[in-house]
Amino acid sequence: MIKFFAALAILTVMISMASVYNLKQETYDLEETKRTISAQILKDRQAIKVLKAEMAYLSRPERLERLSRRHLVLDATQNEQLVSTLGELSIRENVMVANLPVDNFQMLLPRQKPNPVQIAKRNAKIRPSPNVRMASFDSVENQTKVEKINKADQRSLYERILAKIGN
């Protein structure tokens, strides 16, 4: 029994010693890795500094201008190319502009189409007074069509678009 305990004690001690040694070694290795990484970071930052300087050198306005003249067909912006409002872009009068709810991006609304009801009314024949009875050549089909148009959505196109995009 005593031998068993002695052996167990010795074994435990040896295992503990081995693990402590191992731990220590691992710590050393990590320290070493850390040192290398730190040195590498310092080296990289040095390199980044050089690259930034090179970037500034290569993007000198004078050089960019020269390259742009040679390789691009673009010219410098003129002030008439800038507009402050969307309305100024259009040559139409009374432009309608809607702001998209997401990011307030301005959107030019299309001009309202001529109202079919009004056109129908305008084109309709002058109706005689109800007292006078006249023979009508209008087919039943045609009569219902005019009624349908009358019942169609009375809201303007602008209102309908606003309702659709939700503001």
Partner 1 sequence: MKPIDLQMEGTRQGAMEVARNRMIIVMALFAVGFLTLSVKLISIGVFQDPGGYVFQADIPKDPLLMARADIVDRNGVVLATNLKTPSLAANPHGLETPPEELASRITLILPGLDYDEILKKLTSKRRHIWIKRTLTPKQMYEINRIGDPGLVFSDAEKRIYPHGRLVSHVLGSVDIDNKSNSGVEAYFNERLVDPLRSEETLVLSIDIKLQHILNQELTAYMDKFSSSGAAGVVLDAKTGEILALSSLPDFDPNETSGPQTANQMNRVLNGVYELGSGFKTFTIASGLENKVVKLSGGYDASKPVRVGGYTIHDDHAKNRWLNVPEIFVYSSNIGTLKMAQDIGVERQKEFFESLGLFRKTDVEVFEKGQPLLPYQWGPTELATTAYGHGIAVTPLHLANGVAAMVNGGRLNPATLIRKDVTQDGGVTSVSLDGLEEKQATQVISKNTSEIMRNLLHLVVEYGTGRSAKVDGYLIGGKTGTAIKAADKNDGFRGYKKSVISSFVSTFPINDPQYVVFAMLDEPNGIKETYNMVSGGWTAAPLVGDIIRRIGPLMGIEPVKKDKIEYEELMLVSGTKE
What tokens does 96 get? 């309608």
- Please tell me the count of residues contacting partner 1 according to CB under 8 A: 35
Residues in region 40-59 near partner 1 by CB under 8 A:
41-42, 45-46, 49-50, 52-57, 59
Q: Give residues 59-78 in contact with partner 1 (rule: CB under 8 A).
A: 59-62, 65, 76-78
> Which residues have CB under 8 Å from 87's CB, separation 6+?
95, 97
Distance CA 74, CA 68 (A): 7
Looking at residues 113 to 152 of the shown chain, list those that interact with partner 1 (rule: CB under 8 A): none
Which of the stretches 82-90, 136-144, 148-156, 158-166 binds partner 1 when contact is defined by CB under 8 A?
82-90
- Using the rule CB under 8 A, is 91 a contact of partner 1? no
Among 24, 34, 121, 155, binds partner 1 (CB under 8 A): 34
Length of the chain: 167
Q: Can you tell me which of 1, 82, 102, 134 binds partner 1, judged by CB under 8 A?
A: 82
- Least CB distance from residue 115 to partner 1, whole Å? 33
Q: Which residues bind partner 1 (CB under 8 A)?
A: 2, 9-10, 13, 16-17, 20, 34, 38, 41-42, 45-46, 49-50, 52-57, 59-62, 65, 76-84
